[in-house]
Structure 1
Amino acid sequence: MGKSKVLQVARTAQAALKPARMADAQLDHLEHMIRSLALSGAPGTFAYLDRGYWKKRLAALGDESDLVSTQRARVLRLLDLLAQDHADAGPNKAAA
């Protein structure tokens, strides 16, 4: 009896996820914003941008939507881009 309740909860949680097609517009927006800022070439582009905000938006998208593999790959690339820009602006680059 306990197992069936666990399965029902898991199914309910999975059913609550938004379909992947609904995530495309949000993902397009996030990708546009993050890429345009990161690839602008201006040093410290993210200096006025809260990385935590963008990371939370990407995490929320993954948590709320049933993303397909290509969408998950896009989210991971954007997280890497945020981390890469952060690493480029670190103290090692400033000392070089």
Structure 2
Amino acid sequence: MEKTKVLQVSRNAPATRATLKPARLADAQLDHLEHMIRSFALSGDPKALANLDHTYWQRRLAALGEESDLVSTQRARVLRLLDLLVQDRSTGADKAAA
């Protein structure tokens, strides 16, 4: 299993710190994303995990990283959630193959 090291930024024009949203505004979004992803991942219900659109949640996390001037602790939370999504996806593939 490979850990995600860097958030990928896919913008046509590079964002400067002046155009990014302040970190304090990202907290509410990050709390919501963390709650949703963790509740699905930790539920233990295979049907819940199967219905989780990993790509959607990965895009939401990436967008948060691209649009906000995250502090290091927020960036670490985003990376942990991305890793959790990758783990869930690989675990789901292992269960489907079994």
TM range (shorter): 0.7 to 0.9
**Aligned-partner residue type, residue 56 of structure 2:** Y
Where is the helix percentage greater, Structure 1 or Structure 2? 1
Which one has a larger percent strand, Structure 1 or Structure 2? Answer: 1
Q: Percent identity?
A: 71
Superposition RMSD in Å = 1.9
Structure of higher RCO (CA pairs closer than 8 Å, 6+ residues apart): 2
> Does 1:43 find its partner at 2:46?
yes
Which deviations, in whole Å up to 9, do the C-alpha atoms of 1:24-78 show, x marking residues without a partner?
0000000000000000011243211211110000000000000000000000000
User: TM-score if structure 2 supplies the norm length?
Assistant: 0.79
TM-score, normalised via structure 1 length: 0.81
Task: Return 5+ residue gaps in structure 2 as ranges.
Answer: 1-12
Which residue pairs with 1:57 in the alignment? Answer: 60
Where do 5+ consecutive residues of structure 1 fail to align?
1-8
Aligned twin of 1:15: 18
Structure with max Cα Rg? 1
Give the ranges of 4+ consecutive aligned residues of structure 1 lying more than 6 Å apart after TM superposition: none
Question: How many equivalent residue pairs?
Answer: 86
Q: Is contact 1:44–1:89 with CA below 8 Å preserved after alignment?
A: no
Paired residue for 1:82?
A: 85
